Amino acid sequence: MAVKQRRRAVRAAPDPPASRPAQRRRTRKAIVDAAVALLARGGTPSVAEVAAAADVSRRTVYLYFPTFEQLLLDATAGALSQTTVDAAIAAPEESDVAARVERMVRALQHVSPEVERLGRALIRLTVEQGRSSPGTQQPVRGYRRLEWIESALAPWRTRLGPARWRRLIAALAMVVGWEALIVQRDVCGLTIEQGEELSVWAARALVRAALEESRIPPSRRGS
């Protein structure tokens, strides 16, 4: 009951513009987590059951997931990946960001055939949705990836500053995840191992560049 009351309080209070992306991600996560919990009990839940478990309306579920199939795919793929990735970045006190990022990248890229199949299906369902709504602020996928990247980079949040922090998160999101995996397999013809090493190499380069940039005095940047 207390959890539901907190959720209602969060939804009732208007969000300042800067917090809306984070709020949308929390809402999406609540819906997916509810679907995961219901799937774990056996059987396939209905939209109404997921909405009730997440303490949102059916309309909100469809706002984030235009098809129920997309929600079930997202929930299943996330549930299969969650434990592995969480374990890879489970040491919040560790300050070696490069090591944290590398473990996260390897966990995200080295997926089982079943998870890859689900990921490809999720891409297929969401790519047209993204094209049909180019100006939308609703993420059609990838919110979980952003949370994992933020967690891996957490020790550097203050050090990088807001603008460089957001840019590094976005850059890392481009070199890991389903889209990167599909490019590695289908476009470049890489093996699982080669694709994983490529993503690690790219992530290391991005982390190193962000660190070096943060050390340059503002007066010398761009000179």
Residue 199 contacts residue 105 (beta carbons within 8 Å) = yes
> Mean pLDDT, the chain, as a whole number?
77
Nearest alpha-carbon partner for 179 in 188, 6, 82: 188
**pLDDT tier at 130, thresholds 50, 70, 90:** low
Q: Where are the domains of the chain?
A: 1-64, 92-218
Q: Report the range out of 71-85, 127-141, 206-220 with the highest average pLDDT.
A: 206-220
Assigned token pair, 198: 């490529």
Residue 101: its pLDDT value, please? 92
Q: How far apart are CA 68 and CA 136, in angstroms?
A: 19
- Domain 1-64 top-level CATH class: mainly alpha
pLDDT-above-90 percentage for the chain? 26
Query: What's the CA gap between 82 and 67, in Å, rounded?
Result: 22
Query: Between helices 97-109 and 157-175, what is the axis angle to 10°?
Result: 20
pLDDT at 6: 42
pLDDT band at 134 (very low <50, low <70, confident <90, very high): very low
Helices 68-88 and 97-109 pack at an angle, to 10 degrees, of 140
List, for residues 105-123, the tens digit of each pLDDT value. Answer: 988 888 778 778 777 877 7
Q: Count how many residues are written for the chain.
A: 223
